[in-house]
Amino acid sequence: MPNLKSVQMLLLDDVFRMGSGYVLNFSDKTFGKFFREEVGIDIDHPRYSVEGGSKAKRFRYFVQNESLPAVVKAIKALWDYRQALMERDGEQETLANIDNRMEALISSIGGQWDKPTPSAPPTSAIVLDPTKVAGFTKRLLDLGSLAPHPRGYAFEQFLRDLFDAYRLEAHKGFRNRGEQIDGSFQLDGHTYLLEAKWQNAPSNAADLHVFQGKIGEKSDWSRGLFVSYAGFSADGLAAFGRAKRIICMDGLDMHEALSRGISLDKLLRDKARKAAETGLPFVRVSDL
């Protein structure tokens, strides 16, 4: 157990706004769902209500009585959620030196506070030569004539070349133990992992959850781009929910971006911003 000191608990109270029994903006339902998804813990279990049933009292008991890995994971997940809320609401940080104070708290109990790579200031959108745009458009259309297996690899190569054209430092796919990642790229200081699917049926909730699981096992600042040429089922997106670290793109998005001269780097920034503002992982180009 971490055995946090009183002054450290006061810091968590301030950071997660627990003064009146709440934790950030969670309802009881969303608080339970958050803990199940992000920490793998049933915070609604009666054992966490020994000192009271409010969200704040349950979280305080959890922090003082659960295992160190679970406590560190929960604090990091809540911190990321807090930062996303502040970004969405345009809220400025009011707690002095808070990053260093949170790092010191986690380090004091034997955890590791992974600092994200500092975000580079957004750059102007890159505009490709019309000849290059025409070439990418033709390549995308030609992929449809390939057999499924070679088409999958060709689609990944197409995306890497497209990312590189917009100076996104694309890496090819790689395999970790037990999982396959289709590639990665950099945008404004953030590392995005890639999931690329070209199949007949729209991607469903299971596809999205599998990819989210891969992202969840990586560093806290990792993000994901799920490109499904056939799109995403409405039921799948509804079941997947909100407040994830994934943005989505389909084949129509790519065709519209290429045909309308929309820079890929700008499109991805707009999608990431819309996801931060609404929690929706997939918003079409036409709705941005």
Q: Mind listing the pLDDT tens digit for each residue in 223-275? A: 999 999 999 999 999 999 886 789 999 999 999 999 888 899 999 999 998 98
Q: What pLDDT, in 10s, does the model give residues 124-145?
A: 578 888 899 999 999 999 998 9
| Three-state secondary-structure class, residue 192 | strand
The pLDDT of residue 76 is 92
Residue range 206-227: average pLDDT? 88
- Write the CA distances from 160 to 140, 166, 261, integer angstroms: 13, 10, 19
The pLDDT of residue 189 is 80
Cα 8-11-12 angle, rounded to 5 deg: 95
CATH code 3.30.365.10 for 130-287:
no
212: left (phi over 0), alpha (psi -120 to 50) or beta: alpha
Domain range summary for the chain, segments of one domain joined by +? 6-108, 130-287
Mean pLDDT of the chain: 88
* pTM of the model as a whole: 0.58
Distance, in Å, from the CA atom of 145 to the CA atom of 142, rounded to the nearest integer, reads 6
Distance, in Å, from the CA atom of 86 to the CA atom of 80, rounded to the nearest integer, reads 10
Confidence at 174, pLDDT banded by 50, 70, 90: confident
